[in-house]
Amino acid sequence: MWLEAVQACGDDAQECPTCGSRVRRRICGEMYAGSFISDGERVDVRRIPDEGHIDPVVLDPITQYFHGGLYRLWPKETYYARGGKKLHRAVWESAFGPLPPKCHVHHKDGNPANNVLSNLECLPASTHLSIGTSARNAKIRHRKANGQIDVDPFFTDRAREKAAEWHRSEAGRLWHKHHAERSKSWEKWTRTTRDCEYCKKPFSALDRANGYQQKYCTASCKTSAYRKRKALGMV
């Protein structure tokens, strides 16, 4: 770290006792009042939040409303997002302007669901990544100390159990509800009565919008037809 001269604001009464200029000495890389010194240059953003700023509204465990849009927490994701835009970044930028280059928005309390402005701060990307690495290492040390290093809900034999538990939870049910309303899959397929290509019995076949048509009435008929084609050398 090294000190750097930064021009003070115009209404600042303090002046340099030697030359009379309005400058201050700050540590290079220090964050202050919504502004940031990046690579020896000051990036100007608003010093105070926008007067009309309103924090996100929590609608349910996986949905938050902000500036006319719904931001959702999708499976396997850490942050709430809408169309690729992260909610915590949108909140910070709405208050202070564009995020300075090579910077990240950090949750002070470590909770990605707490996206109120008072819980967000702008940090250099390297600092933010080091904080995340330290937190992960601390969790690993804790699991080692308690003999639980092999217990991970995503990469162990308990993955299916944990996945089923999540799908039965309130958050899982809400996600399925929102996903169904968003995809409207029931509008993308129809049912048609046709004969099974193997057993020749009529059944209600599925016709998808992408052109796929169900040919066999059951998985058993589909497997039997495959084995027959394989025996004839057609596969």
Runs of H (alpha helix) within the chain:
87-96, 125-145, 159-168, 170-183, 219-231
Give the Cα separation of 2 and 61 in Å (integer).
Answer: 44
| 13 within domain boundaries | yes
Range of the domain at 20: 3-43
Q: Total structural domains in the chain?
A: 4
| Residue-level pLDDT at 141 | 61
To the nearest 10°, report the CA torsion of 67, 70, 71, 76: 180
Domain check: are 163 and 122 in the same one?
no
| Same domain flag for 204 and 127 | no
- Co-location of 213 and 173 in the same domain: no
Residues 206-213: what's their mean pLDDT? 82
Please tell me whether residues 72 and 141 are part of one structural domain: yes
Pair 138, 157 in one domain: no
pLDDT for 226 equals 93
Q: Write the pLDDT tens digit of every residue in 148-171.
A: 544 444 455 566 777 788 888 888
Is residue 139 domain-shared with residue 156, that is, in the same domain?
A: no
197 and 121, same domain (yes or no): no
Mean per-residue pLDDT over the chain, rounded = 76
Which pTM does this prediction carry?
A: 0.47
Helix 159-168 × helix 170-183 angle, to 10°: 70
Judge whether 87 lies within some domain. Answer: yes
Residues 138 and 72 in one domain: yes
Most confident of 42-46, 81-85, 178-182: 81-85
Q: Give a yes or no: residue 107 inside a domain.
A: yes
User: What are the pLDDT digits (tens) for 84-113?
Assistant: 899 999 998 888 888 888 888 988 888 889
20-44 per-position pLDDT tens digit? 655 555 444 444 444 555 556 655 5
Q: Are 179 and 192 found together in one domain? A: no
pLDDT of residue 91: 92
50 found inside a domain: no
